[in-house]
Amino acid sequence: MKELTTYSLVDFERRSHGPSSEMFLKFQFGERPETILETLREDSRIEAISEDEVSSVVKAQIRNQT
């Protein structure tokens, strides 16, 4: 995921829910989800992941943006 931030496809920010909570990274698409999906389809490392799984992540992101 962090590698995708290099190409501005994904943005992230460090988050925490308070002083007693652990730190975590929140990732969000940096481009239109459709553009991200096209880019992921071209990445040979993602070939093992089914298109349905990738599409479900993209659709969830679209729902979160509205």
Q: DSSP letters of 29-56?
A: ESS-HHHHHHHHHH-GGGTTS-HHHHHH
Q: Residue 10: which pLDDT band, with cuts at 50, 70 and 90?
A: confident
The crossing angle, in degrees rounded to 10, of helices 51-65 and 33-42 is 160
Range of the domain at 42: 2-65
When pLDDT is averaged across residues 30-38 and rounded to a whole number, the result is 77
**What does pLDDT average to over the chain?**
78
Cα→Cα distances 65→18, 23, 44, 58, 59, Å: 25, 23, 28, 11, 10
Residue 31 structure tokens? 């481009």
What is the mean predicted confidence (pLDDT) over 21-26? Answer: 83
Number of folded domains in the chain?
Answer: 1
